[in-house]
Amino acid sequence: MSLMLMKNSISMPIRGSIPDSEDAKIYLASMEEKFKGTSKVHASTLILKLVTTKYDGRNGIRGHIMMMKDMAHKMRGLDMEISDGFVVHFIMTSLPAAYEAFKINYNTQKDKWTMSDLVAMCVQEEERMKMDKPEVAYLATSSKKRKNPHPRKEFTKV
């Protein structure tokens, strides 16, 4: 009965690639063997993304930290243990140059921050930076050439 439920819950293209069996345990083992290589590729992709991700300011600092924390959590699920301290350092290195004073402040402290501390401090720093940024108004111009509303009159000598 359980074998029938498993087979019916798997899509046809995937089901066709798994050797058929009359035993549920053997069927699950062959399914695991079939997709074992996929987890290695997924782990490589996560590592690359974790190392190359930089904060771009679009989703806010909290969203950036949560995204990187989620990648680290997914890697733990793939038997790749990454400590929170290591993730904190990766996140600090992913911050742009505008956060340079903030990074120096972190590096000079003896205490190590937890993920909760990092989120709180980064959000506070982001708010401080927003308050310090002057409001700028940009002048928008049109690229179309306009006809002169006051044309010059040409005078001719008589």
* Pairwise CA distance, residues 74 & 68, whole Å: 10
Break the chain into its structural domains and give their ranges. Answer: 53-132
Q: pLDDT > 90: what percent of the chain?
A: 13
* Pairwise CA distance, residues 143 & 38, whole Å: 52
The predicted model scores a pTM of 0.59
Is the CB of residue 38 less than 8 Å from the CB of residue 21? no
Stated as kind and residue range, the H or E segment containing 123 is helix 115-132
* pLDDT confidence tier of residue 64, bands split at 50, 70 and 90: very high
Which amino acid appears at position 149 of this protein?
A: P
